A and B are shown apart, each in its own frame.
Chain A
Amino acid sequence: MKKQLHWISLVLIILVGNCTTKNDPAPVKVQEGLWVLHEGTFNLNNAGLSAINLDSGKVVVDFFRRQNGRALGDVANDMKRYGGKVYIVVNNSSILEIVDVANGQSQATISMINDGFEPRQPRQVAFDDGKAYVCSYDGSIAVIDTTSLKIVTYLNSSGQNPDGIAVQNGNLYVSNSGGLNYPDYDNTVSVFDLNTNKEIKKITVGLNPGTLAADPHGDVYVLCRGDYDQVPSSIKIIDASSDEVKGSLLITGSSISLFGTTLYVSNYDFITRKSTIAVVDVLTEDVISHNLIDLSDVQTLYGLYVDENDGQIFVTDAKDFTSQGKVFEYNLEGELQRSFVVGVNPSKLLKITTTR
């Protein structure tokens, strides 16, 4: 009796269950639209890609997961299109994810790991003549063949923690941020000759250089973020024919992006809590406007995409950096058209059209 009671009691407390079946939704059919990359938050593997159908206004949140049945990874940093493919740099997962623009399906996942099985921490991607170049925090620049989707070779920057990358006049420009050597930031841009794959010059710019933008007139714009304390942020202009710094713009910016012949400098001021977009004409190298549009609807400006032909300005809002972000659509007059709820920390945007 005692034994029975014991066994009965044991059986009673064994909760039969564990019915956690995961039903991942099936892939969706995609049309042209706006792709939104969300960075996610560190260590939560919640980076993702959303697709917005601009005709219907429908958002497929976590479009990458729907199309591929798996997550994008941890901390997505960059997204650019080259030909029929979109290249996504996932920093903390240390991968380059290459997807087809037609359906969002993965074509290749390239692991960026060094010989000691340590993550290289890739940051940004640029393209030239059938090659993709990915700079990583460990100082390497991976050269990827865009046909075979394989790493051909690695270049090595002599600077610390490469962060931004751009191609101008057949040369590759890589900004050395030194971000992980705080407080001793780096302040250089390395120039590589893509014919010889050699570093040919190191240009001193401002402190803590980040994103680079190559304009149509042979210049490279460098966002130098300063030390967030005594040294303010600035934008340096490199003349690619001489590889000298020819000018400097004193605009505070958290990111720069070039669309057409215009450079946009986005900034969120953490003290005044105001979001602004400044505009630079890259031909005259003048600041045209300090306030492109009224962004009072945006809590925390994070990403920008301008399509002058279609008259659209898309702005992303990172909110408090842990909640679901938003994408706002404005017309060129700065009137708010509509907004979409997307994933955590939406950073990069890409308009996908099959005709381009």
Chain B
Amino acid sequence: MVSRQSLYILFSLTITWSPLALGQMDSLHLLTPIIVEEKALISPKNTSNPVYTLDQEQLERSNTTTLADAVKTLPGVYLKDFGGIGGLKTLSLRGLDAKYTRILIDGIPIIDAQMGQIDLSTYPVAQFSSMSLALLEPSGTLLPASAYNGVNFLSLQPSTSTPKNGLDLQFGVKMGSFGLFQPHLLIKNGWQHHQLGGFINYQSAHGVYPFTYQNGQLTSHDTRKNADQKALNALTNYQYKNNWLKSTWNLQLQSSNQGLPGAIILYQPNALGQRLYRQNWSIQTKNTAKLSPKWDAVIQYKWSENHLTYEDPTFLNEESMLRNTYQEQHHFTSLGLRYEPDTSFSVYFVGDLDYSQLITNVSQLETPRRYYWLQALRINWHNSRLHLQGGLLHHYLFDQNKSSAATRTQKWNANAGFNYQILKKQALFLKMMYKGLFRMPTFNELYYNLVENPNLKPEYSNQLDAGLFWEKRNWAGQEYVSVDAHVFYGQTRDKIITVPTQNLFIWSMQNIGTVENKGGQVAITSYFKMGKKAGFTTTTNYTFQRNIDRTDESKSTYGHQIPYTPQHLANLQVGYDRHKWSLTSNVLYNGARYRLPENSIGNYLPPWFTQDVIFLYKMWLNEIELRGRLALNNIWDHSYEVISYFPMPGFHGFLTLTIII
């Protein structure tokens, strides 16, 4: 007879990518079965693609300040990091740039029509209760069509929305290097059918750190300046739920004021006063209704407005100041209907209309507007051993700009995958998936610089993945082992590349690139129990990837690895847990890469690794839980660069104190 608790443990063993949470069994009783139900959706056992999940416990215990720190340890991830607190951090997965990753908050995508990529460092990790990275299909149900419009998906669950009855209060402060002072407050209250949550995070830092760099035989010491940041993130969440209706409302604010440290320029004082001001507002709502036992309907809406100001007070024009302002607006509506005749089969149809516009004082950009109508059809079927997933996407776009004729684009693409349990009595699964995807050009790409190219076509990417997932429990003295191994192959055609058109001052975007990507990755997870109160966990992953320029055989760069795509990526995390404390060590390795398309010695960037150590201590005073967390990062004080001439910080550390009531 299996007890209820061990059933739950089994469940969580199968659904988490990293077993660090497994040591957190003390807190298991806090969780309600609803979370199990939600998390089960993203189990690697029933998806046809690699899915890597970090839940709140793991996020809490890992070395994370922002989302950027959280994702960089996941398989296949190369975080393009310009360094420090305020440095831009975007995610590149399997060599595909950030524009290919859809980021969803509570199922609704964050859309940036101007740049097409999201700076992960602008989201504090405490704002989310879980995150998962997936390749075929984002986790969650009844999502908008645009949630499926990506090669990779990063799904985030706001920490305010965890359904729970009663009052929940959390207050934390993080302090340490770079003058970081970061308090946050989380309040949740649930009663009857209602649940209300609020989250606020303030972050202030001077961002200064010393670094060394090599200039030939000279070793230079300098400090990173103009890196200060003040940021506020706030979120409120309201949810109503009864037998047939669930309605969620979200209001979000992101506001920041930061210095923009530039690249190291040799022999120059590097004390430029460039600044970035950001203010983003959004309201989103998701309403799902069970119309009948077989039919579900969903209506979603999002409004967002993003203000961005860039200032350069050293710009040598007549005003001695460059000030560019950008204001991006979105209205997003989505309607969906799901038919589920029985638990093994479902068909879901959803259509979105997204309106975006950009108002800017940059003379060549004349208020571009985009109407994007996207429809998705999703089919899911499974029996006891086989899961099938598939879908179609239909894009219809209407791009408008004052100075040129409107353009229409219409595209179809498809994806499919399966997951098959090979042996009846072994948890061994074979997974395969195929995906074709169009990435529409961003406003920046369409109307960049002086010469716009409204005839720019979307980039087209084809991705194939095949893998095996195996897990075993209570075997040879170990508690748990899982292995997730994949090979992948893909191609990106009509890749958008900037080229000079009329002269060196006028560059424009052209669909000229072809890139082939291939490789393999393996993630191994294990958990050993040592006596009653201690545990030992390891998670390790390794990715080998080749991202090769296949554009033009006559060019010197044909067959070369494209810039900033390391061939080797690895991460090893080891954790030791006691009842009240845990110690975790994380080693992250990024292989060599090149900074320009030509793979020459002059463009070579050496590999690097960093090691972080995190100590977490918990104690209870009656019903109040106190947590202290000490994170020591880059403990060997390595000097390294992810992006050429943007130095990363050496040894640094943070102390976090949290009270949970």
A residues contacting B by CB (< 8 A) are: 1-2, 5-6, 9-10, 13-15, 17-18, 20, 22, 24, 41, 43-46, 62, 65, 68-71, 73-74, 90, 92-95, 109, 111, 113, 117-119, 121, 137-139, 160-161, 178, 180-181, 183-184, 225, 228-229, 254, 270-271, 319-324, 343-344
Contact = CB atoms under 8 A, between A and B. Distances in A.
B217 A69 contact: yes
Contacts of B596: 41, 44, 322-323, 344
A134 to B, nearest CB: 15
Given A45-B264, A70-B217, A117-B269, A9 B536 contact: yes
Nearest to B536: A5
Contacts of A271: 501-502
Contacts of A93: 265-268
Interface stretch (B238-246, B309-317, B376-384, B387-395): B309-317
B138 to A, nearest CB: 32
A13 B530 contact: no
Interface stretch (B34-42, B276-284, B416-424, B598-606): B598-606
Given A43-B645, A74-B266, A228-B503, A320 B555 contact: yes
Contacts of A161: 316-317
Nearest to A3: B576
Contact of B316 (A14, A44, A121): A121
Contacts of A20: 606
Contacts of A41: 596
A245 B149 CA distance: 60
A109 B502 CA distance: 35
B363 interface: yes
B307 to A, nearest CB: 24
A68 B216 contact: yes
Contacts of B602: 46, 62, 343-344
A142 to B, nearest CB: 15
B645 A228 contact: no
B587 A15 contact: yes
A142 B488 CA distance: 58
Nearest to A20: B606
B587 to A, nearest CB: 5
A95 to B, nearest CB: 5
Contacts of B587: 13-15
B534 A323 contact: no
B463 interface: no
A43 B262 contact: yes
11 contacts: A2-B576, A6-B536, A43-B644, A73-B266, A93-B266, A138-B316, A160-B317, A181-B317, A254-B504, A320-B557, A344-B602
B277 to A, nearest CB: 21
B341 interface: no
A160 B318 contact: yes
B265 A10 contact: no
Contact of A117 (B271, B556, B572): B271
Interface residues of B, number: 58
B597 A322 contact: yes
Given A18-B638, A180-B315, A95 B267 contact: yes
Contacts of A343: 602
Given A18-B638, A44-B645, A320-B555, A118 B217 contact: no
Contacts of B316: 121, 137-139, 161, 180
Contacts of A319: 556
Interface of B is mostly: loop
A184 B363 CA distance: 11
Nearest to A322: B596
B268 A94 contact: yes
Nearest to A111: B267
A9 B538 contact: yes
B217 to A, nearest CB: 4
Contacts of B622: none
B267 A324 contact: no
B506 interface: yes
Contacts of B267: 73, 90, 93-95, 109, 111
Contacts of B609: 15, 17
B589 to A, nearest CB: 8
Nearest to B497: A320
Nearest to A40: B602
B556 A45 contact: no
Contacts of B644: 43-44
A180 to B, nearest CB: 4
Given A44-B595, A94-B267, A254 B503 contact: yes
Contacts of B2: none
Contact of B217 (A22, A92, A181): A22
Nearest to B269: A117
B233 to A, nearest CB: 30
**A-B interface, 6 closest residue pairs, ranked by CB to CB distance from nearest:** A70-B216, A69-B217, A43-B263, A93-B267, A6-B576, A180-B317
B314 A270 contact: no
B450 A229 contact: yes
B215 interface: yes
Q: Which of B503, B572, B597: most chain A Cβ within 10 A?
A: B503
Q: Which of A73, A119, A254, A344: most chain B Cβ within 10 A?
A: A119
A70 B644 CA distance: 17
A69 B216 contact: yes
B214 interface: yes
Contacts of A138: 316
A321 B574 contact: no
Contact of B218 (A18, A45, A69, A181): A69
B611 A65 contact: no
Contacts of A22: 214, 216-217
A344 B556 CA distance: 13
B293 interface: no
B424 to A, nearest CB: 35
A71 B589 CA distance: 28
A9 B598 CA distance: 40
